[in-house]
A = this chain, B = another copy of it.
Amino acid sequence: MELSFGPEYESFRDEVRDFITKHKDQQAPSGAGSDAGKSWQKTLIEAGYTARTIPKEYGGFGAEPDMVKSRIINEEFATARMPGGLGGQGISMLIPTLLELGTDEQKEQFIKPTLHGEMVWCQGYSEPGAGSDLASLRTSAVLDGDEWVINGSKIWTSTAHLAHWMFCLVRTEPDAPKHNGISFLLLRMDTPGIEIRPLVDMTMNANFNEVFFTDVRVPKDQIVGRRGQGWQVANAILGHERDSLADPNASLTRLNSLIDLMKTETLGGERLIDNPLYRERLMKIQGRAMAMRYNDMHVLSSRLNKDQEAPLARMITKLQGTELRHELEALAIDAMGEVGLSFGSNPYLRGGGSWQYQFMYFLGLIIGGGTNQIQKNIISERGLGMPKEPKIEK
C-alpha cells in the first residue's frame, strides 16, 4: 500500500498550489458564454490545468496523459474552491470523440472553438422511446443528395437552449440490426426545423430540454465515423460519464455539510446531532461513504498500475453512490422535521434549499445515466459472468 504519488508529483502539487495562491481572488465566471469565463479558460489552458492533454495545434496544453497529475489538479482546485475550466458535454464528450475518431477537418473546425468556449454543444442521444434501451432510438436521418434529412425528437438534452451545435445519434440504416443502424452526426442548432422545449423536472427546474426535428437538413460530411458506426463512436467515451455521477469525495464533502447542519439546527430544543437516532443514521452513512472513498482509490490505483484490476469496484460506483447520496439528503430532511420540507422562497430554508433539491436530483440520477436496474444487469453480466437476459419467443 503506497498512497503517496511520489516526490515528482509532490513537486507538481506544489506548482499547482502556487498557481492557486497567485489566483486566489479568481471568482467563478458566471455562464458558459461570458468573457470572464473564456478568459479564465485561457489562463488555465496556458498553465496546463485544463485541456491538459489536448494537442497544442487544437488549442490545448499538449501534455502527455497523466492521471495522477489530473487528479492532483482536481484535488487542489476542489480543496481551494478554485473555479475550474469550462465544462459541458462538448468539452467532456465531443472533443475526446473527435480526437479519437474525427477527420482532420473536423478536428480543425471544432476542437479549438469548443475548448475556448466559442462553440457550445449539447448532446442528442436519448429519446422519449429510447431510454434504457438507447440503441432502439428512432430519430431518422435520410440522405437526400448531399444532405441528411432528420426527423424525430430527443430528450434529456441539457443546455439545448444555449448550445450552438448538437452532436447526436440518429438512425440512418433502418434495415440493419439496431446497433449497426446508427450514425453520429453534428448539426447547428439554428438549422431550420429544430424546436426546443424546456423539460421541467420534479425539482421544478428546467434542467433539461426536449428537441424536435422536422426535416432538418444537415450537410452529408457532418458525420463522425462511418455510416452505421454511430453506436461504437458514442460508446468509445460513454463510460466516463457514468462514473462522475457519484463522486465519493463529493459525498464526503456533502456529509460534512450535513454534520454542520446537525450541529447547529435544533428541533424540540435539542441539537439534531444530539438525537441518537439521527446520529446513528449519520454514522451509518459516513461508514458507507468512507467505504466508497477507498473503493475509488482502488479504482484509481487499478488505472495507474497495469498489473492491478478492479472491474467490480468501478462497476458498482454509480449504483451505490447515487443511492448513498439520496439517503444522505433524506437524513437531513428527516432530521429537520417540518423545517426539512422548506422549498422555494422561505426564510427557514436551509442550505439554500439544496437538501430537498438534491434529494430529488439524486433520485433522478438513480434513474439517469443507466437506471440502477440496468446497472445491476451490467454488474451481474459483465462483472459476475451471469447469463444475459435470454432472448424471448416472439
Question: Is A393's beta carbon under 8 Å from chain B?
Answer: yes
Is the interface on chain A under 10, 10 to 19, 20 to 34, or 35 or more residues?
under 10
Shortest Cβ gap from A28 to chain B (Å): 42
A393 to B390: give the CA distance in the assembly, Å.
7
Interface SS of A by simple majority:
mixed
Collect the chain B residues with CB atoms within 8 Å of residue A277's CB. 276-277, 280
Question: Is A3's beta carbon under 8 Å from chain B?
Answer: no
Question: Is A204's beta carbon under 8 Å from chain B?
Answer: no
Question: Is A23's beta carbon under 8 Å from chain B?
Answer: no
User: Which residue of B276, B391, B392, B393 contacts A276 across the interface (Cβ within 8 Å)?
Assistant: B276
Shortest Cβ gap from A393 to chain B (Å): 4
Collect the chain B residues with CB atoms within 8 Å of residue A393's CB. 390-393
Q: Which of A366-394 contact B (CB under 8 A)?
A: 390-393
Q: Which of A299-318 contact B (CB under 8 A)?
A: none
Collect the chain B residues with CB atoms within 8 Å of residue A280's CB. 277
Residue of B whose beta carbon sits closest to that of A394 = B393
Residue of B whose beta carbon sits closest to that of A392 = B390
Q: Which of A241-282 contact B (CB under 8 A)?
A: 276-277, 280
Residue of B whose beta carbon sits closest to that of A280 = B277
Shortest Cβ gap from A27 to chain B (Å): 46
A390 to B276: give the CA distance in the assembly, Å.
48
Collect the chain B residues with CB atoms within 8 Å of residue A391's CB. 392-393
A270 to B393: give the CA distance in the assembly, Å.
62
A276 to B279: give the CA distance in the assembly, Å.
11
Shortest Cβ gap from A149 to chain B (Å): 37
A277 to B284: give the CA distance in the assembly, Å.
13
Shortest Cβ gap from A338 to chain B (Å): 20
A211 to B312: give the CA distance in the assembly, Å.
42
Residue of B whose beta carbon sits closest to that of A277 = B280
Q: Which of A107-158 contact B (CB under 8 A)?
A: none
Q: Offer 5 A-B interface pairs, CB within 8 angstroms, sorted by A.
A: A276-B276, A277-B280, A391-B392, A392-B392, A393-B393
10 nearest CB pairs, A to B: A390-B392, A391-B393, A276-B276, A277-B280, A393-B393, A392-B392, A276-B277, A391-B392, A277-B277, A392-B393
Please name 8 further chain A to chain B contacts, defined as beta carbons within 8 Å, in addition to the given A390-B392, A390-B393, A392-B392, sorted by A numbering.
A276-B276, A276-B277, A277-B277, A277-B280, A391-B392, A391-B393, A392-B393, A393-B393
